[in-house]
Structure 1
Amino acid sequence: MNYAPSLPTGLRAGALLLAALLAGCGALPDRPARATLYDFGPVLSLPQAPADAARLPTLALAEIDAGARLESPQILYRLAYADANEMRPYGQSRWSMAPNQLIYQRLRDALAVQRTVLNREESATLARSAGRVPRTLRISLDEFSHYFESPTRSSGLVRLRATLIQSAAGGDSVLAQRSFVVQRPAPSADAPGGVKALAAASDVAIAEVVAWVDQVR
């Protein structure tokens, strides 16, 4: 009786291991889904100042202060009908950068329509070279969340505090301060709906801040 030749023990063990690995490949979990990134959308146009409008005084815009949760790219929501004190992050959705940075960029563009806007380093350079210290606008971002009044009703909630400061050799003085609270309805009860509502609320809040700064004398 003829017998088929058997594989050497080492080769047989290697073949079994290879078969096990190939079989295991089909059981590997899928790669985790990549988070979706959002921002406020492109600025297609900015309001134009009247041709005969005088340029407003130069302004320094400080980096926007925010708590630790608002200095991260998480998109946050509150379930006010369950526990309004708890901030929760959406799992697979993120801002492209932290909310305070998104608002800073948008606010700087809006202020620059009728004036020169400097950051703090540029303002310090101007003070050293020309002896002029422009006013400084400081913003504190206190709330930036997708706010659910009920499971089906929600809005983008933005709350910030603006402080206009004049620096001088004798120290800083507060010229004016005001808080702004803006809500805009969300078109859907999910992360994309919250993003749209927060972008809309931010644009309104920024417009209100610009109008306020322009009228402070």
Structure 2
Amino acid sequence: MMRDTVTQGDNEMNNGKGRLVTWLFGFGAVLGTAMLVAGCAAPAPSGALARFDLGPPTMPVSAVAGANSAAGAAGANAPASDVAAASAQQLSPLKVVVNAPSWLDSDMIYYRLPASEGDQARVYANSRWLTSPARLFGDRLRASLSVDRVVLAAGDPAAAPALRVDLEEFAQYFDSTSASHGVVQVRATLFDGPKLLAQTTLRAQAPAATADAAGGARALATASDAVQKQLIQWLAGRVPAPSATTRAPAQSRALPATSSAGSSPVSASAPSR
């Protein structure tokens, strides 16, 4: 499947270059052919690489943000008690870690051809992420969550529930030579100390404006924001206040599977509640 295929990297991509060209001409789309073949050509010098990220973070409108905006709109001379009341709505702190399989722990930008061409993932030769998708997604998620709660690193000694997000898919899917979309899928697991509270799988996709790496990067940014919005909604009401279980000795506070290079299965699962 995908993870077995992508580890072969650019060598497999170059070996399958003729197959890609055949598929493209089968559609008879000369413009689309030029775009995709250019993306799959032999690697160029690093100085010629185009670099992409997910763009500036988009802050979700939360209850706390709305309260703070309302307080600001009331005027700079609003009573201190009103400002304090808005601040008191901050949610419980949360430890956050984002895991990813090895193929997503690099700067490669992956895309998939239609299912008729086989279940293979390929990489753009002349385009890269600024850093790994796991890091890009994680930084964006922490920025979104920090709107209404304190976000801590997995190893922080402070007592707090923990959220582990396993990034399972982060790629551009081609439906034809001229149409594609970005797909992001994650598995989210919420812990209170060693206790598993809930788990869910979230997925979103967004159309790409252009059939190239730039279009794929923008589509993946949109899909990432959609998944993170789902995640924040899923967390609502599920994150408990820090309990006695999170005040155990340091070795008991470690968040399971904190490695960013690969994800490991959860020992037990619980349905979304």
Q: TM-score range by the shorter chain?
A: 0.7 to 0.9
Match of 2:165 in 1: 139
Q: Is the 8 A contact 2:59 2:144 kept in 1?
A: no
Give the alignment partner of residue 159 of structure 1, picking from 185, 191, 206. 185
Unpaired segments ≥5 residues, structure 2: 1-43, 69-85, 240-273
Q: Is the 8 A contact 2:163 2:189 kept in 1?
A: yes
Q: Is the 8 A contact 1:49 1:113 kept in 2?
A: no
Mapping for residues 29-68 of structure 1, pairs under 5 Å: 32=45, 34-43=48-57, 47=61, 48-51=65-68, 52=86, 54-62=89-97, 64-68=98-102
Which structure: greater strand fraction? Answer: 1
Give the alignment partner of residue 206 of structure 1, picking from 221, 228, 240. 228
Q: Is the 8 A contact 2:57 2:143 kept in 1?
A: no
How far is 1:69 from its partner? 0.9
Q: Distance in 1 between matches of 2:113 and 2:205?
A: 15
- Paired letter, 1:74: M
Unpaired segments ≥5 residues, structure 1: 1-30, 127-132
**RMSD value over aligned CA atoms?**
1.8
Deviations 1:13-56 (A, max 9, x none): xxxxxxxxxxxxxxxxxx83521110011237664242337111
How far is 1:82 from its partner? 3.7
Match of 2:174 in 1: 148
- Paired letter, 1:50: A
Higher relative contact order (CA 8 A, sep 6+): 2
Q: Is the 8 A contact 1:49 1:114 kept in 2?
A: no
How far is 1:83 from its partner? 3.2
Number of residues paired by the alignment?
174
Match of 2:113 in 1: 79
% identical aligned pairs:
36
How far is 1:84 from its partner? 4.6
Match of 2:133 in 1: 99
Tell me the TM-score normalized by structure 1: 0.75
Q: Distance in 1 between matches of 2:144 and 2:118?
A: 32
Runs of 4+ in 1 over 4 A off after TM superposition: none
Q: Is the 8 A contact 1:139 1:163 kept in 2?
A: yes
Mapping for residues 10-21 of structure 1, pairs under 5 Å: none
How far is 1:148 from its partner? 1.0
Query: Quick check: which has more Rg, 1 or 2?
Result: 1
How far is 1:215 from its partner? 2.8
Match of 2:207 in 1: 185
Q: Is the 8 A contact 1:81 1:148 kept in 2?
A: no
How far is 1:173 from its partner? 1.5
Match of 1:10 in 2: none
Change (3 A) 1:183 1:84: farther
Deviations 1:93-114 (A, max 9, x none): 0000000100110100111111
Q: Distance in 2 between matches of 1:92 and 1:162?
A: 32
Q: Distance in 2 between matches of 1:185 and 1:193?
A: 9
